[in-house]
Structure 1
């Protein structure tokens, strides 16, 4: 049995044990009070026991279902990652555009990768658009600092992904980051930012798991164009408040 299934099976067994312990406790309490119960009280006690047991069984069955049925729209990087994601990883952008034309459904697939040393521990989780918007880092000449500039993929790919699956602009990855967060981490590609905000303007105020908004990530970046991007984002943020 794979390690992750073994772990889930052990959790389910523990749940079964908890259910039986709870049922035993309820029965003991009912039997202790039996001599003082009237018929209608005994009936109510039985109904209460049946209801609680039913709820426990439903919860238990739901957990089994979720354990052995993969989440819809989520794929495992090691086992069945989509061709689209492989093309993105290899920066084959013309082929990415062709793949989006022939298999648009892959734009909405969430890719999960787990640690090899611990198959139960999530390494990362993202949509293709997160991967395309991931910042690239190049060596800058200004005071020897590293200047974050640009995103991994062409703006045309971002546009295509947003057109095919606009809901992707609202999806947070395992770090709580929207595609917009990733674009803004490098100071921002203004064209990509505009496309993503057109799909989800409220994303300007969303915070990642570290409590950072896209604007705050821009503010702490070392990008040459961050002043321009900050001005643009400030205007968008203001419009969301009005």
Structure 2
């Protein structure tokens, strides 16, 4: 073997030592993952590529078809619902944050001021519509059929004293229609992408309680790869005090780390 061939083999071997992982996220603001990416590159020779999606179903499908290796963008209840509907195998390997949903308005400052017949924007997917309706119930605006548990729909409203009118739309549209409705139920990350700070701008924010666990955000892999050592290393680098501080600073306290909660 020539010296040149030997050098080429050595060079190729070094390149092959780098592990490439594609992680799906939703939204533009991902400073915590950018920090983790840099740490993994420096200390573990893991090349973590962030692929940004604009709505929640896309990373589920991308994980299933192999376009990405992991995603970190979804609540567990939403992922489980999409798995059931689509026959997917997206599986939780770790928890990340609780990102409370908020009620936002450009027209009123308090839910108590909502007029009769007011228009309300709701996200259209099953788990987020349910979450929004439960939040409206917590705010005292409607009552729901308790037998529906965590997954009521607007057809399960049993009391609507203000005769609220519902406009159901894609989650990534709920922040865009604030000028066209009286209130809008907006997911935390969609609010952030619209320049809203839930803890400051929401007129009513989802409380954190034991009942919040279905809405914990997850890191997910395909079912047959949950024990992948590289993926577990990525989890370890994410679930740190440094990342928790970044999350707190970037979200103004609107996003709460939950990996230490049981």
TM-score by length of 1: 0.22
Identify the structure with the greater helix proportion: 1
- Greater Rg by CA: 1
TM-score by length of 2: 0.21
